[in-house]
């Protein structure tokens, strides 16, 4: 095919090369040349001439942005969560939207456990103390944390990632409670018990969030919910920041309403709510849930595969708005 009739694809940030190779073999590909998130004007400029868009969870793809290009056929999100895209607006405009489910489940569940263990066993505080030359020998009272084995884990959102977190909890002999819109049959494999949100918050020693961000789940954890938690309990969030009212969380951590928090995501990402960074009873990561080379590479090839299928007139394997294909 001569280059002047190749379809055009815009990629909003460099992703692992195998995904880019798949696109570059077929299409004229423009990649954001900057090592940063594009602003709205830059996004619009890139989308204007594209048949396909490969974007990130940091790109807000609104109806206004879609309207700059009536020829846009597909928005392939490089993430499982797609709350950054106005899917209803895309469907109205006949644009397919795809995501990358499954391939990041284990990496995100692993990082959830890394945060849970780091905050409850004070790993980051211990590392800082040691590096600062303040380790003066074994001390019976130094940096006492909390047991994990045998405790109760409360999982909010028992989808793929919630289940992978539960699977790991079995090895820690934990009692597992979960809350979702309805009971999830797979949860029985882990002897996880379906309970109300309030019951979960009152009983769990660790509360971990794995729900998608929607109008119903925004601020699912706010002051009232934090007050229901045990004073000895920890909150872990590797899902989406706005599930938590971050100001209420900072206050709860300052006032000792809960024991600590392990966070990978933030309400106003990448900005942190005032006071959060100064709290010793938190472990704060820069949205690393899926950040392994293997996983990010699988996400890249999956996102590219979705985009290619759509541009070749096929149904993409991970289409989130199948209604777009109905007449």
Residue 244 near residue 272 (C-beta atoms within 8 A) = no
Answer yes or no whether residue 261 interacts with ligand DGY by CB under 6 A: no
Looking at 162, 289, 305, 316, which residue binds ligand DGY (CB under 6 A)? Answer: 289
Answer yes or no whether residue 15 interacts with ligand DGY by CB under 6 A: no
Q: Is 240 a residue of the active site?
A: yes
Catalytic pick among 122, 240, 246, 296: 240
Q: Is 34 a residue of the active site?
A: no
Distance CA 269, CA 287 (A): 9
Comparison of 104 and 253: residue with beta carbon closer to ligand DGY: 104
Judged by DSSP in three states, 226 sits in helix
Segment holding 283, helix H or strand E: strand 282-284
Answer yes or no whether residue 54 interacts with ligand DGY by CB under 6 A: no
Looking at 52, 81, 260, 316, which residue binds ligand DGY (CB under 6 A)? Answer: 81
- What Cα–Cα distance (Å) separates residue 159 from each residue in 105, 212, 249? 10, 9, 24
Residue 266 burial (CB count, 10 A): 20
* Least distance between ligand DGY and beta carbon 291 (Å): 7
Answer yes or no whether residue 103 interacts with ligand DGY by CB under 6 A: no
**DSSP at 262:** E
Tokens of 103: 């391939």
Q: How many residues bind ligand DGY (CB under 6 A)?
A: 7
Catalytic pick among 160, 210, 287, 296: 287
Distance CA 157, CA 163 (A): 9
Answer yes or no whether residue 306 interacts with ligand DGY by CB under 6 A: no
Comparison of 19 and 289: residue with beta carbon closer to ligand DGY: 289
Tokens of 311: 């541009």
Answer yes or no whether residue 242 interacts with ligand DGY by CB under 6 A: no
Tokens of 160: 């793929």
Q: Which stretch binds ligand DGY (CB under 6 A): 77-85, 130-138, 142-150, 319-327?
A: 77-85
Comparison of 16 and 81: residue with beta carbon closer to ligand DGY: 81
- What Cα–Cα distance (Å) separates residue 40 from each residue in 16, 51, 60? 24, 18, 8
Comparison of 239 and 259: residue with beta carbon closer to ligand DGY: 239
Comparison of 100 and 273: residue with beta carbon closer to ligand DGY: 100
Answer yes or no whether residue 241 interacts with ligand DGY by CB under 6 A: no
What's the angle, vertex CA 37, arms to CA 35 and CA 39, rounded to 5?
125
Contacts made by residues 32-37, CB under 8 angstroms, sequence distance 24+: 37/12, 37/13
Catalytic (active-site) positions: 240, 269, 287
Interface ranges with ligand DGY (CB under 6 A): 57, 79-81, 104, 289-290
């Amino acid at each position: 095919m001569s280059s002047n009739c190749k379809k055009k694809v815009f990629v909003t940030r460099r992703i692992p090369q195998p995904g880019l190779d798949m696109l570059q073999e077929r299409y004229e590909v423009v990649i954001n040349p900057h090592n940063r998130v594009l602003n709205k004007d830059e996004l619009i400029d890139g989308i204007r001439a594209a048949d396909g868009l490969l974007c990130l969870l940091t790109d807000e793809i609104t109806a206004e942005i879609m309207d700059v290009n009536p020829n846009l056929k597909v928005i392939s999100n490089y993430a499982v969560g797609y709350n950054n895209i106005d899917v209803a607006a895309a469907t109205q405009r006949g644009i397919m939207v795809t995501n990358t489910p499954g391939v990041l489940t284990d990496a995100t569940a692993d990082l959830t456990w890394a945060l849970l263990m780091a905050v409850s066993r004070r790993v980051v505080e211990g590392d800082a103390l040691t590096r600062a030359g303040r380790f003066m020998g074994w001390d019976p009272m130094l940096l006492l944390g909390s047991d994990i084995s045998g405790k109760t884990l409360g999982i909010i959102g028992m989808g793929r990632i919630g289940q992978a977190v539960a699977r790991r909890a079995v090895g820690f002999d934990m009692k597992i409670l979960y809350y979702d819109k309805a009971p999830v049959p797979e949860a029985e494999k882990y002897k996880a018990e379906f309970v109300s949100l309030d019951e979960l918050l009152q009983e769990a020693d660790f509360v971990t969030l794995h729900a998608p961000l929607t109008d119903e789940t925004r601020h699912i954890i706010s002051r009232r919910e934090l007050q229901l938690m045990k004073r000895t309990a920890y909150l872990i969030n590797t899902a989406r920041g706005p599930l938590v009212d971050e100001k209420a969380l900072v206050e709860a951590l300052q006032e000792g309403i809960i024991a600590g928090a392990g966070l990978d995501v933030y309400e106003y990402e990448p900005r942190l709510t005032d006071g959060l960074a100064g709290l010793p009873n938190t472990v704060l990561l820069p949205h690393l849930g899926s950040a392994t080379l293997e996983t990010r590479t699988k996400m890249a090839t999956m996102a590219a595969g979705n985009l290619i299928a759509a541009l070749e007139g096929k149904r993409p394997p991970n289409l989130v708005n199948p209604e777009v294909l109905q007449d």
